[in-house]
Structure 1
């Protein structure tokens, strides 16, 4: 009898997606960096606990679920209390919502992942970045890097679900995932360099980086909402 294949999102791309999303938010609100990364750890531990509870060791799984939940809540608290300005609070709130949606979409407690939650999560983080560009006067480099991180997050999340559906989580998928993520990272790096070149060609006094950022953000949002 053939072994059943688990059609859930693969781990490497899912984790990269969460890390990239947390980096995107942290570049806009550096004070929330610790909280965002603690959230990532909590989400990953919770997911692994759910896997162990369902398939191998219920005692270990229950403990991991509890620890992961506590760590996730602690991360939310750290991130939420890291800023006091209203714009910053809104941006961090969007980042928390986005990371939570990505966690549920790529590291599901049940089911095979959710592209809808991935889209909602990345859309929330995109709004966080837009807020940083419009209301916080974030620099050009942080904006470009956060956009590149967002693209990596979205692409890694989609790839996690796709590879899981096609090959199953038990397969040795990390070479395929690594190659895909590497190409995406290179494309993101080219986009950042291109944005810096365009900025340097701008007219002095003209907030060109804001215009470029909004155009890029519109493209990213279109991609994120595209089926």
Structure 2
């Protein structure tokens, strides 16, 4: 099979797990805030569009909206647990959405990537569960009556750091002008 015959569409398993992460973020956001629900639903819609079209920038916008929904819900609500779950759902949606697009572009949809995608999804879930555990432990032992808004701001900072790493990582994969990316 030549590269011209590849269907350069996002990988299906990673796309499905990204959608599940977005649904988790929508549910967590909608629990305490109508604004959070509206932002998260808009984010989930952009995610579907990004996965349908195979565009990384739509995935980025989608996850920013999902995360804004989580922050709004965390600010207006009183559930740290849901804010943490929504954040992990957002990061999983972003990570696996980007991965689905990259796998589709590089290997094509026909490639057998089930094992690779399953390992990536499991790794993201494990890292997410670890983040929830650490975040909740810090909240329980260090919060001492602090408002949930403080946790929302902490999540905002963590989200910005994650976005920064993703942009840096994407730029490092792009070839430099005037030569190969290794020159």
Instruction: Provide the TM-score with structure 1 as the length reference.
Output: 0.67
2:126 paired residue among 173, 181, 186: 186
2:153 paired residue among 209, 214, 217: 214
Which runs of 5 or more structure 1 residues have no equivalent in the other structure?
32-86
For residues 147-162 of structure 1, what are the structure 2 equivalents within 5 Å? 147-162=87-102
Which runs of 5 or more structure 2 residues have no equivalent in the other structure?
171-183
Do the aligned partners of 2:70 and 2:87 also contact (CA within 8 Å) in 1? Answer: yes
Query: Measured at CA, do residues 206 and 11 of structure 1 come closer, stay the same or move farther in structure 2, by a change above 3 Å?
Result: same
C-alpha separation in 1, matches of 2:152 and 2:75: 10
Query: Measured at CA, do residues 206 and 173 of structure 1 come closer, stay the same or move farther in structure 2, by a change above 3 Å?
Result: same
C-alpha separation in 2, matches of 1:138 and 1:22: 20
Measure how far apart 1:222 and its partner are.
4.4
For residues 34-53 of structure 1, what are the structure 2 equivalents within 5 Å? none
C-alpha separation in 1, matches of 2:143 and 2:31: 29
Measure how far apart 1:204 and its partner are.
2.7
Give the length in aligned residue pairs. Answer: 165
Residue equivalent to 2:162: 223
* 1:140 correspondence with 2:80: yes
Tell me the C-alpha RMSD between the 2 structures.
1.9
* 1:171 correspondence with 2:111: yes
Instruction: Provide the TM-score with structure 2 as the length reference.
Output: 0.82
Do the aligned partners of 2:75 and 2:152 also contact (CA within 8 Å) in 1? Answer: no
The runs of 4+ residues in structure 1 deviating greater than 4 Å are none
